[in-house]
């Protein structure tokens, strides 16, 4: 493959950010056990846990298109910035907000 250099750009020797789980500069899809998350705001990792989504599918037409957020693992370390907003209208004790976060320290 031919190298392409434009001005000071040298793509062969560029620095790539860390891909180590939980390192500063990495992203995580996480859930917070409170009702609101505001984009751009920072949150302690001790309030965030990794999350994922499951599509629940069975023979019931009502449940076939249901999505559930799952959470697990340990609470995170460091300080994280929210990259999305969650303001659930359901205010029950099981409500949680889920979005992407980037670790800033």
Structural domain contains residue 39: yes
CA dist., res. 34 & res. 48, Å (int): 10
Residue 80: what are its φ and ψ, rounded to 5°?
Answer: -125, 145
Q: Are 73 and 50 in contact (CB under 8 A)?
A: yes
User: Do the domain assignments include residue 29?
Assistant: yes
Determine contact, residues 58/64, Cβ cutoff 8 Å: yes
Residuewise pLDDT in 10s, the chain (105 residues): 555 555 555 555 556 678 899 999 999 999 987 768 999 999 999 999 999 887 766 656 555 566 677 777 899 999 999 999 987 666 566 667 889 999 999
Q: What is the C-alpha to C-alpha distance for residues 62 and 34, in angstroms, rounded to an integer?
A: 28
Q: What is the pLDDT of residue 17?
A: 76
The answer to whether residue 20 sits within a structural domain is no
Token pair of 9, please? 């750009």
Measured over the CA atoms of residue 80, residue 71, residue 16 and residue 40, the dihedral's sign is negative
Q: What is the DSSP letter of 99?
A: E
pLDDT value for 59? 59
Confidence (pLDDT) at 47: 92
Q: What pLDDT, on a 0 to 100 scale, did the predictor assign at position 36? A: 84
| Number of compact structural domains in the chain | 1
**Does residue 4 belong to any structural domain of this protein?**
no
What pLDDT was estimated at residue 104? 97
CA–CA separation, 28 and 40 (whole Å): 15
Residue 96, domain extent: 25-103
Report the pLDDT value the prediction gives residue 73, as an integer from 0 to 100.
83
């Amino acid at each position: 493959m031919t190298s392409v250099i434009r001005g000071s750009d040298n793509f062969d020797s560029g620095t790539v950010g860390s891909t180590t789980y939980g390192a500063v500069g990495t992203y995580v899809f996480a859930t917070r056990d409170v009702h609101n998350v505001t984009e751009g705001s920072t949150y302690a990792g001790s309030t965030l846990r990794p999350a994922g989504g499951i599509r629940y599918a069975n023979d019931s037409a009502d449940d076939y298109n249901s999505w559930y957020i799952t959470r697990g693992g340990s609470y995170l370390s460091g300080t994280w910035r929210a990259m999305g907003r969650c303001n659930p209208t359901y205010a029950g004790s099981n409500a949680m907000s889920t979005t992407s976060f980037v670790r800033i320290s």
